[in-house]
Amino acid sequence: QKEVEQDPGPLSVPEGAIVSLNCTYSNSAFQYFMWYRQYSRKGPELLMYTYSSGNKEDGRFTAQVDKSSKYISLFIRDSQPSDSATYLCAMSRWNDYKLSFGAGTTVTVRA
């Protein structure tokens, strides 16, 4: 079983729609939960991170963590064509630098 499971998609939505992405994980020791955006031929870029459970909002982006279900989500409101990218979830244990990544979900926002 993989430590982090992420639906690879692809996901195609019209401009202005809400994009919903999620990951599940098996390691209950994970405490930090990150979402990265990766454009083609570029490296992963951190969008936001959450420590432990709860929600975090940053502009059009909302991250949610449910540790009891080992489930994390990223919502993108009012999606734009510029949001078209691969979105990767990543996690780490407390005080650990090693990231465990999901496979990434490819999102296309149609104008």
Residues forming contacts to other proteins in the complex (CB under 8 A) are 2, 4, 32, 34, 36, 41-46, 49, 88, 90, 92, 95-104
CB of 17: closest distance to other proteins in angstroms?
Answer: 27
- Whether 72 and 89 have beta carbons less than 8 Å apart is answered as yes
Helices (H), ranges, the chain: none
Distance CA 36, CA 47 (A): 5
Min. distance of Cβ 58 from other proteins in angstroms? 13
Which of residues 89 and 109 has its CB atom nearest to other proteins in the complex? 89
Q: How far is the CB of 98 from other proteins (least distance, A)?
A: 5
